[in-house]
Amino acid sequence: MRIDGSILAAVSGGADSVAMLHMLLTTPQPAGGNPLVCAHYNHGLRDAADEDEAFVKKLCEEWEIPFVSEKGNVPKDTGVEAAAREKRYIFLERVRSGRGLDYIATAHTADDNIETVLLNLTRGAGLSGLCGIPKTRGSIIRPVLHLSRNKILMYLAERNIPYREDESNHDTTYRRNYIRHKVIPALTKANPALTDAVVRLTASLNEDEEYLMSLARAVYAYPFSAGRLTQLPRPIASRVCRMLVCEHSPYPPERIHIDAMLDIAAGGNGRRCNISSGLTVAKKNGMIVIERTENRRSQNAPGSG
């Protein structure tokens, strides 16, 4: 896990992130060492959330790792998972850039990758969604993506390293947990080599995705001409839309947002719509731009204006 650069490790207190933090701390780094900072985002969604934060803080004190945390206010509605993820990534990027660090390390594992592919499949995701979790995206790196959850648990047990167990991980009313505890065991019975099969699938799809992205990058600019966007082949135009959004957000847009962006590009100036919390796409002077408008209301529906 040799990484040439300073790292902000996102640590929830669970097994995966605690193991990642320990690996980053103990793996020999380039001469002089790399600064390692631990960040914890307290979503405030669980009764034990404050205890999780205290646990990570104490762990960092014992391991002599700088620690930073923030307590958020995530609305407990049907979009709680997406809202929590977005607020967490905004916090992480703010800390990373504020401290001048190179990377944000998240503790996604091989198991998370399979869950993501299946979850995206149920959502009707396109090619990029079926590629799984990328090893890197911008400043985000995933050092333990190649490790299974079982290997993570073995690593911790061998070193007697404590971690927090999130009881909500067993709540199958959450879509990801349902995939984890119900769908994957059933598919594994049908094919015990499910993990290898998904690895082959994502490797093949990533080759196709990278080629299409290279075509999109060749024409990309920000802001982007609405007229030019409507003339591009749909596979390239959708990727240009994704790149436009990723100029302002660490989380790429969903298909419904891309459809809205292309609809706006085909219409007149002044059209706009919300595509995520605080993020709006607009057509101004024939160009597609992304604006951060925290207080804009949801009545700005796709194609309105």
Q: What are the DSSP E strand ranges found in 56-156?
A: 67-71, 103-105, 136-137, 140-141
The angle subtended at Cα 97 by Cα 147 and Cα 239, nearest 5°, is 65
At 247, the pLDDT band (50, 70, 90 cuts) reads confident
Least confident among 85-94, 211-220, 268-277: 268-277
pLDDT recorded at residue 294? 57
Tell me the CA distances in angstroms from 250 to 5, 81, 103, 220, 246, one per residue in order.
19, 15, 13, 18, 6
Percent of the chain residues topping a pLDDT of 70: 90
pLDDT recorded at residue 1? 61
Give residue 99's identity as a one-letter amino acid code: R
> What is d(CA 254, CA 122) in angstroms, rounded to the nearest whole number?
13
pLDDT recorded at residue 29? 67
Q: In the predicted model, what is the mean pLDDT of residues 162-175?
A: 87
pLDDT tens readout for residues 180-193: 999 999 999 999 99
Which are the contacts of 173, defined by CB distance < 8 A and separation ≥ 6? Answer: none
pLDDT recorded at residue 299? 37
* Contact criterion met (CB below 8 Å) for 9 and 20: yes
Burial class (CB in 10 A: 0-12, 13-18, 19+), 21: buried
At 264, the pLDDT band (50, 70, 90 cuts) reads very high
304: pLDDT strictly greater than 70:
no
- Three-class SS of residue 273? strand
pLDDT tens readout for residues 77-132: 656 777 788 889 999 999 999 999 999 999 999 999 999 999 999 988 889 889 99
At 296, the pLDDT band (50, 70, 90 cuts) reads very low
> CB 128: neighbour CB atoms within 10 A?
20
The angle subtended at Cα 147 by Cα 166 and Cα 112, nearest 5°, is 50
> What is d(CA 272, CA 254) in angstroms, rounded to the nearest whole number?
17
Q: 25-29, 248-252, 259-263, 276-280: which has the highest mean pLDDT? A: 259-263
> Which of the pair, 76 or 22, is modelled with greater confidence?
22
Q: In the predicted model, what is the mean pLDDT of residues 243-269?
A: 89
Instruction: Domains for the chain: give ranges and CATH numbers.
Output: 7-107+143-170 (3.40.50.620), 220-292 (3.30.465.60)
> What is d(CA 2, CA 143) in angstroms, rounded to the nearest whole number?
9
Average pLDDT over all residues of the chain = 89
pTM of the predicted structure, to 2 decimals: 0.79
